[in-house]
Structure 1
Amino acid sequence: MNTKYIDLINQTFDFPQDEFKLAEHKLRFHNVNLMQLVEQYGAPLKFTYLPQISNNIQRAKQWFTAAIEKYDYKGKYNYCYCTKSSHFKHVLHEALKNDIHIETSSAFDIDIVENLKREGKIDNNTYIISNGFKRAQYVTNIARLINEGHKNCIPIIDNYEEIDLLSQEINGNFNIGIRIASEEEPKFEFYTSRLGIGYKNIVPFYKNQIQNNEKVELKMLHFFINTGIRDNAYYWNELLKCLKVYTSLKKICPSLDSLNIGGGFPIKNSLAFDFDYEYLVDEIVNQINITCEEEGVEVPNIFTEFGSFTVGESGGAIYEVLYQKQQNDREKWNMINSSFITTLPDTWAINKRFIMLPINRWNDSYERVLLGGLTCDSDDYYNSEQHMNAIYLPKYNKEKPLYIGFFNTGAYQETIGGFGGLQHCLIPTPKHVLINKDAEGNITTELFCEQQKSEDLLKILGYDPKPDINTTQTINKNANIVLADK
């Protein structure tokens, strides 16, 4: 009988896969020995496999290069990384090895850009696409960057006042883009994105505020779809509406030469994941080419902003199953030694699916379970609603520790979870390990941060740090002496 966990996986999925394989009944991720990682660093832990960041960037570049050559497309392609997906230095440094550009979304992002410039990771040729609603500090920081010579910083206008605000602080001429307020999917409770300017208002906005403004030059039209790039009627309909705006603008605005098709690619969330990236890129380039040819205008340079696609598939989290609780005749709860709410907040907030697999014991029999976190919140769980289907794991055995991994978690989880700060029920942030390859292709690891200690959290909360144990003993001893004297 096929009763082992490996049998279940082989029957259900095409396995092994490029990033997942077994060695001695234990899971490997990009050939990283995960049990060895656990033995060295303990669990819970988070990890970032840095080479996957460069792998995905290069994949996207190859898809666009192939499509541009196929259709003899006259524009250029520029890959931008959305820093909001993960602001960590190790992520930016790895991504910037690949001749890419940066998209920012708030004031402090510009401070990161300036830090990268000082380190020589980027220069004035790097495009800085500044998105988002621009409060005073963001405007000031953008202006400072441009005033110091970074002319390839392009603020994307989100509302009607931003041109005036930027003009007051920027010395000389500067380039801008305009963000389209795309219509949301029918399932949304509102019709139009709160970000950007509506389709029908863009040409009048250009004529009223930009066309005769000698200080400002429109270079980019920014098109963002909240659901990301998908092969469905909604996406293609919105793209075609965007292209109509682009061609209408181009006819009266010769300086317009770039189209930013923001809204990223999905990432793998199941062993059954199947997405034809290459076809989507091919068809996007084809549609832009056809529309511009029909309207008699030059094709734009294409910019993309990939955040989750860049960094998501580099991340993972490993937990130990501490205990199993049989709560009724059907529900077995495997309790992990951390919290989903705090370490993988997207599983709780938006029912986001991640790949979940055991690290060890693949040759053992399996059972259906629910996964519970350590907080006292009833929503701290991971079940079939988040997972693609029912959750099966090797049977719990208190004599045989079971470790489970969540994969492709590298985007947003640290920033949403509040890395380094307070967590629900004061569950500590796990240790974080960076995984890389040396020049010979050997796997290397580095501890990026330790697990939070109680002192870290008490300090944030305003309490005195825990006194040294020797000092405490001295104080207690002196107290006894005084008491005895009395």
Structure 2
Amino acid sequence: MNTKYIDLIDQTFYFPQEEFKLKDNNLLFHDIDLMALVEKYGTPLKFTYLPQISNNIQRAKQWFANARKTNKYKGKYYYCYCTKSSHFKHVLNEALKNDIHIETSSAFDLDIVNTLKAEGKINNNTFVICNGFKRDEYINNIANLINGGHKNCIPVIDNFEEIDLLTQQVKRKFKIGIRIASEEEPKFEFYTSRLGIGYKNIVPFYNRQVRDNRKLELKMLHFFINTGIRDNAYYWNELAKCLKVYVSLKRICPSLDSLNIGGGFPIKNSLGFEFDYQYMIDEILNQIKLTCDEEEVPVPNIFTEFGSYTVGESGGAIYKVLYQKQQNDREAWNMINSSFITTLPDTWAINKRFILLPVNRWNDSYERVLLGGLTCDSDDYYNSEQHMNAIYLPKYNKDKDLYIGFFNTGAYQETIGGFGGLQHCLIPAPKHLLIDKDEKGNLVTTVFKEQQKSEDLLKILGYHEQ
């Protein structure tokens, strides 16, 4: 009988996969021996595999190069990284090895930009796309960047007041973009995005506030879909409406030459994940070209803003199963040595799914379980996984340690969870490792942050002096 965990995976998915394989009954992730990490560093444990950031960037660049060639698309392509997905220096350093550009969303983002410029990681030719609702400090920082000579800083106008706020501060001619307030997906709680300017208002807004302002050069129309780039009727319908606006603007604004199709690619969230990235890019460029050719306007340069896609698949978290609680005849709870609310907040906040696999004991028999975290909050659990909303893991045995890994967790978890700060029920943040490759291709592991200690939390709470 096929009763082992490996049998379940073999029957359900194609396995091994590009990033996952087995060695001696244990799981490898991008050839990283996860049990070796556990034995050396303990758990709970988070890690970032830096080379995957460059891998994903290069894949996307190649897909766009292929699509431009296939469609004879004359516009250029620019890859931007959304810093809000992960602001860490090690992430930016790795991403910027790949000749990319940056998208920001708040005032402090531009302090990071200034630091990167001082270190020579970016220069005045690097595009810095400034999104978000802009007030005081954000406006000041944008103005300082432009006044300092950063010619490719492009603030994307989010509302009717930002033009006046920017022109008061910026001392030279500068480029801007305009963000479209797209309609949300039909099942969403409201109809139109709170960000940007409505479709029907954009051309009147340009005529009223931009056209005759000699300090402004409209270069970009920004199109963002909250659900990301998906092959469904909703996405294609919103793209078609966006292209109508672009064509209308281009006819009266010769300087407009770029379309920012913000809203990123999905990332792998199960072993059964399927998404044809090349097809989607081909079809997006094809639709843009068809519309522009029909309306006899030049095709725009294409900007993308990939955040989760850039960094998400570089991250992972490993926990130990401490104990099993049999709460009734059907529900067995495996309790982990950390908290989902604090370490993987997306699982709790937006029901995000990640790839969940055991790190060891793949040749053991399996059982259906629920996963519980250490906090006293009833929402601190994880029960939605790739196996039809059930979790199957090797059977709990108090004499045989079981470790489990969540993979592709590299985007948003640290910033949403409040990295380095207080956590719910004072559960400490796990140790965080950085995994890179040296010049010979050997894996090199360093500790980025040790697990929080009691005194770290007591200092924040005011019990100990800072």
TM-score, with normalisation over the residues of structure 2? 0.99
SS at match of 2:95: helix
Do the aligned partners of 2:157 and 2:163 also contact (CA within 8 Å) in 1?
Answer: yes
Report the CA distance between 1:311 and its aligned residue.
0.3
Identify the residue that residue 325 of structure 1 maps to in structure 2. 325
Match of residue 132 from structure 2:
132
1:289 alignment partner AA: K
**Aligned partners of 2:385 and 2:394: how far apart in 1?**
20
Partner of 1:335: 335
Matching residue's letter, 2:201: N
Q: Cα offset for 1:150?
A: 0.3
How far apart, CA to CA, are the structure 2 residues paired with 1:291 and 1:402? 56
Q: Distance in 1 between matches of 2:42 and 2:125?
A: 43
- What is the rounded CA distance, in whole Å, between the counterparts of 1:378 and 1:320 in structure 2? 20
Counterpart-to-counterpart distance in 2, 1:90 and 1:39? 25
Measured after TM superposition, the shift of residue 323 of structure 1 is: 0.5
Q: What secondary structure is seen at the aligned counterpart in 1 of 2:154?
A: strand
Aligned counterpart, 1:380: 380
Tell me by how many angstroms 1:135 deviates: 1.2
Kept in 1, the 8 Å contact 2:270–2:386? The answer is no
Q: What is the correspondence of 1:176-325 to structure 2 with a 5 Å cutoff? A: 176-325=176-325
**Residue in 1 that maps onto 2:350:** 350
Deviation of 1:40 after TM superposition, in Å, equals 1.0
1:438 has 2:426 as partner: no
SS in 2 for 1:368: strand
CA contact (8 A) 1:351 1:385 kept: no
Asked if 1 retains the 8 angstrom alpha-carbon contact of 2:84 and 2:307, the reply is yes
Number of the residue aligned with 1:482: none
Local SS of the residue matching 2:228: coil
Secondary structure at the counterpart of residue 389 of structure 1: coil
CA contact (8 A) 1:353 1:388 kept: no
Contact kept in structure 2, 1:351 and 1:386, CA below 8 Å = no
CA distance in 1, matches of 2:188, 2:71: 36
Q: CA deviation at 1:465?
A: 5.5
- Secondary structure of the structure 1 residue equivalent to 2:183: coil
Question: Which segment drifts farther, 456-465 or 58-67?
Answer: 456-465
Which residue is 1:114 aligned to?
A: 114
| Structure 1 unpaired stretches of 5+ | 467-486
Question: Does the 8 Å contact 2:358/2:402 carry over to 1?
Answer: yes
Question: How far has the Cα of 1:385 moved from its partner?
Answer: 6.7
- The letter for the 2-side match of 1:195 is L
Q: Unaligned 5+ residue runs, structure 2?
A: none
Instruction: Give the equivalent residue in structure 1 for 2:68.
Output: 68
Paired residue for 1:471?
Answer: none
Q: Aligned residue for 1:472?
A: none
Match of 1:480 in 2: none
**CA distance in 1: counterparts of 2:38 and 2:118, whole angstroms:** 37
Partner of 1:22: 22
**Could you tell me which amino acid in structure 1 is paired with residue 134 of structure 2?**
K
Task: Give, in whole Å, the separation in 2 of the partners of 1:77 and 1:259.
Answer: 10
Aligned residue type for 2:159:
N
Cα distance in 2 between the residues matched to 1:172 and 1:148:
10
Q: Give 1:387 deviation, angstroms.
A: 6.8
Instruction: Check if 1:47 corresponds to 2:32.
Output: no
Based on CA coordinates, which of the two structures has the bigger radius of gyration?
1
Give the letter for the 2:332 counterpart: K
Structure 2 CA distance for aligned equivalents of residues 72 and 189 of structure 1: 40
Q: Secondary structure at the match of 2:36?
A: helix
The Cα offsets for residues 217-242 of structure 1, whole Å up to 9 and x where unpaired, read as 10000000000000000000000100
- 8 Å contact 1:455–1:465 — kept in the other structure? no
The alignment partner of 2:16 has SS state of coil
Letter in 2 for 1:76: K
Letter in 2 for 1:228: G
Q: Distance in 2 between matches of 1:250 and 1:387?
A: 49
Q: Secondary structure at the match of 2:59?
A: helix
Give the letter for the 1:296 counterpart: E
- Cα-to-partner distance string for 1:84-113 (whole Å, 9 max, x where unaligned): 000000000000000000000000000000
* Aligned equivalents of 1:385, 1:14: Cα separation in 2: 17
In 2, Cα distance between the equivalents of 1:71 and 1:188? Answer: 34
CA contact (8 A) 1:354 1:387 kept: no
Which amino acid in structure 1 is aligned with residue 255 of structure 2? S
> Corresponding residue for 2:405?
405
SS at match of 1:367: strand
Q: Name the SS of the counterpart of 2:445 in structure 1.
A: strand
Q: Give the whole-Å Cα distance in 1 for the aligned partners of 2:39 and 2:79.
A: 38
> Counterpart of 2:370?
370
| Structure 1 ranges of 4+ moved more than 6 A | none
Counterpart in the other structure of 1:164: 164
CA contact (8 A) 1:325 1:333 kept: yes
Deviation, structure 1 residue 60: 0.5
Contact 1:21 1:27 (8 Å CA) reproduced: yes
Q: Structure 2: how far apart are the matches of 1:386 and 1:196?
A: 36
1:174 maps to: 174
Contact 1:355–1:407, Cα closer than 8 Å, also in 2: yes
CA distance in 2, matches of 1:454, 1:353: 31
In the aligned structure 2, how far is the partner of 1:232 from the partner of 1:330?
Answer: 38
**Per-residue CA distance 1:170-211 (angstroms, 9 max, x = gap):** 111111000000000110121100000000000000000000
CA distance in 1, matches of 2:87, 2:402: 32
SS at match of 1:67: helix
Contact 2:356 2:385 survives alignment (8 Å): no
Which residue number corresponds to residue 463 of structure 2?
A: 463
TM-score (norm 1): 0.95
- Residues 86 and 419 (structure 1), Cα distance of their counterparts in 2 relative to 1, 3 Å cut: same
Does the CA-based 8 Å contact 2:19-2:31 persist in structure 1? yes
Partners of 2:182 and 2:199 within 8 A in 1: yes
> 1:225, 1:263 within 8 Å by CA — same for their partners in 2?
yes
Q: How far apart are residue 389 of structure 1 and its match?
A: 2.5
Kept after mapping to 2: 8 A contact 1:347/1:386: no
Give yes or no for contact 2:271–2:386 (8 Å, CA) kept in 1. no
RMSD: 1.0
Q: Which residue of 2 aligns with 1:146?
A: 146
The answer (yes or no) to whether the contact 2:180–2:222 under 8 Å persists in 1 is yes
Which residue number corresponds to residue 448 of structure 1? 448
